[in-house]
Amino acid sequence: MKQPAAPTGDIKRLRTGWTTGATATAAAVASAYRLLANEALSQVHLWLPKNRETDLAVHDQRVCDDGTTVETGCIKDAGDDPDATHGARVWVRVARRNAPGVIFHAGAGVGTVTRDGLALPVGEPAINPMPRRMIVEHLARAATHLDYHGGFDVTVGIDDGARIAEKTMNARLGILGGLSILGTTGVVRPFSCAAYIASIHQAIDVARANAVPHLAACTGATSERVAQELFALPDMALIEMGDFAGAVLKYLRRHPVERLSLVGGFGKFSKLATGRLDLHSRRGGIDFDWLAGLATEADTATRDAMRVANTSLAALAIARHAGIPLAERVAAAVWQVAARYLPATTALEIVLIDKPGNVLARASRGEMPG
């Protein structure tokens, strides 16, 4: 995802940081070089998604288990974002495997998945798919460079991670024992309402100034990819709204475009469907009672199961099993909410996706499906 345009005026430009996934990748690479070549790196060059590169510093390193394992620590730098893990030491132990590939393990401070409905199966360490991919690709590059043909055991931990996790929603999501290793782009964009909203407005202004008729406002990297695939829009038409759906809708009411597509995950958009314009978790979680209320034809047991579901996607799966078009109804409700903020001349479409980016439902009008 492209970096939001630089804010103007009196708004301070905030410093970006690096995700726990990027930090763990740097630590893994440094461990591999020490393990395979006895080379102690002071920093690691990373190739991040969206064609971005950076160098991350190595904080500390030690050789363990009679030289069969190396542990490297890197300090998580979240930039100017008020991230719970800012300043935490992320460490990675790497050991050789005779078989090819990478096996991941949860070290102290990294949680384990204990419930269905997340991007990882039950029992797996809470190292999300993109960080896994980054670590695997960087270790493969290191192995090629060092002429190593085996695989790796990779253990990822975070100092004091179990305590830090108490500040997050991990326990409710069924991630127990610590934090998740996160990140879809490797970059932490600083959270600031004023700065972020200013960047959204500026992106819309640029698109309008260049006569772009169709904008796609997206909540994240996956939704932006889906929008590109569906609509073949130029980068200028892709608005990185994050959690600030209200900033997009209210601004477009005063600065309209011909067509707007809102593209986002089922969970975030289920919040928008209830009228909440700030989709961040700090404003509250999913309204499972509301989701269950959409399942009007379901029996009591089904609605009760939806109310106590672990995640919105788990509630969706329950509804699907009962033959209820929940995604379509949520999309229609989102359309109804969003349309209230837009002029009648703006054609509006809603696209709901799941975590991998599969389209769950689309709505171009607010009629609830039967």
CB 70 within 8 A of CB 93: yes
Query: For 132-162, what is each residue's pLDDT tens digit?
Result: 999 999 999 999 999 999 999 999 999 999 9
Contacts of 300 (CB under 8 A, 6+ apart): none
Residue 183 pLDDT greater than 70, yes or no: yes
Contacts of 36 (CB under 8 A, 6+ apart): 142, 143, 146, 148
CA distance 225 to 238: 10
Q: What is the mean pLDDT of residues 19-27?
A: 96
Mean pLDDT of the chain: 89
CA distance 208 to 205: 5
Residue 187 pLDDT greater than 80, yes or no: no
Q: What is the mean pLDDT of residues 204-212?
A: 87
Q: Identify the weakest region by mean pLDDT among 33-37, 124-128, 197-201, 209-213.
A: 197-201
Task: Enter the DSSP assignment of 50.
Answer: G
Q: What is the mean pLDDT of residues 237-260?
A: 94
When pLDDT is cut at 50, 70 and 90, the band that residue 203 belongs to is: confident
Helices (H) and strands (E) counted in the chain, each on its own, are: 12, 18
When pLDDT is cut at 50, 70 and 90, the band that residue 166 belongs to is: confident
Query: For 282-340, what is each residue's pLDDT tens digit?
Result: 666 889 999 999 999 999 999 999 999 989 999 999 999 999 999 999 999 999 999 99
